[in-house]
Amino acid sequence: MAKRKSKFVCQHCGYESPKWMGKCPGCHEWNSLMEETVATGAANRGNWTPSSSQVSKPQPLNHIQTQEEPRIKTDMQEFNRVLGGGIVPGSLVLIGGDPGIGKSTLLLQVSNQLATKETDVLYISGEESERQTKLRAERLGISTGHLYVLAETNLLDIANQIDAMNPGFVVIDSIQTIYKEEVASAPGSVSQVRESTSELMRIAKQNHIPIFIVGHVTKEGSIAGPRLLEHMVDAVLYFEGERHHTFRIVRSVKNRFGSTNEMGIFEMEEEGLVEVLNPSEIFLEERSQGVAGSTIVASMEGTRPVLVEIQALISPTSFGNPRRMATGIDTNRVPLLMAVLEKRVGLLLQNQDAYVKVAGGVKLDEPAIDLAVAISIASSFRDQAPHPDDVLIGEVGLTGEVRRVARIEQRVQEAAKLGFKRAVIPSKNLDGWNVPSDIELVGVESVQEAIQFTLA
């Protein structure tokens, strides 16, 4: 007979303890250990043993044959870009995002595009009934005989349906609703999510079927459940954006078959998500020209250059300690750059409140935006508007120097394509590449030199 016992599992990192603790020793989160029931003994061990034909044997590396994986193309170029060129057969992809942001809408549209190419698609919904999924499909104008809908949460029944149907594409919406009968914990717990994802990975690899699973997001913005879930899958996509704004960003943070940090831009309309092929024009269409504190930077999102506007507002403080606030960039980067401006350039910023924002809702985390942020702060402080046709690219060091950045050619080409006339870049990046004929390059060694060029 199987015996049952209780254990306490952290819902953030998966740490297990025989007793409850207020603070998790693994990730130091408070009140994250939840009680789960596990079965021990013969019933938990199972009776299945693999046959000799199913047992893998080690092979010499030089005897293994490799070939280019054929990718399944969708009609969305942005979605193909994020995945590294298309969907890889046999891959397991996790997509997460805030509730109501459009995860199910995107996957239903992708399912329809594949189904119209006579590929059998199985859409498994654990949160909605077949009728609810049908109503959403009608709003999106989707109606095809190759798209099958199944409302099921039992992993065994799902596996049997996949084996019987052998579809070309599977969507699980969502992984937190799926449960495995052998695991005594409730659906959505660490044990259930881990075991269900492991079983789906086995199904994807054995049957060579691409499977997309939807994951809930916690209030901190990460995938619900332990980080182990992200390590198990082949690719992790994050769906970003505000629910009350039309633009959505699909960002790749892990991809075993392509580049990470790729970004796809979509716009939410009545007929669903529509891809934005030139996001730089969208981010700059409402830019402020001739206004102090506004600069343009060419940032790299994966392999794509994107031009965005950085705005800064510097005003005298009314508090004992000046405020430093930032949206779209690391908050710690603002006081660091202000300290460089105060020490190396001589700007008295210690009694000034600073507010920095990346327009358009984009999040930038690369060091090449340092120069644009610094010039925005200096421009607002001096109340001098930079030239509207300037693009600023460069990393700023603590000694005030402007350091070399990667992929300068793609950044400058994107700026020239959008009509900018001058690019202020590190002097170390001036040589070794072909400069477009319709844009002027200005190489700078320090922040002070860049301010003299842009705010003269």
Spatial distance between the Cα atoms of 13 and 225, rounded to a whole number of angstroms? 7
3-state secondary structure of 435: coil
**Binding positions for ATP:** 97-104
Across 152-171, b (16+ Cβ under 10 Å) vs e yields bbebeebbebbeeeebbbbb
Token output for 156: 């065994």
3-state helix, strand, coil in the chain (%, to 5): 30, 30, 45
Stretch (H or E) spanning 254: strand 247-255
3-state secondary structure of 280: helix
Token output for 428: 């170390």
**Binding positions:** 97-104
Q: Which of 447, 282, 439, 254 is nearest to 362 (CA)?
A: 282
Contact criterion met (CB below 8 Å) for 373 and 333 = yes
3-state secondary structure of 167: coil
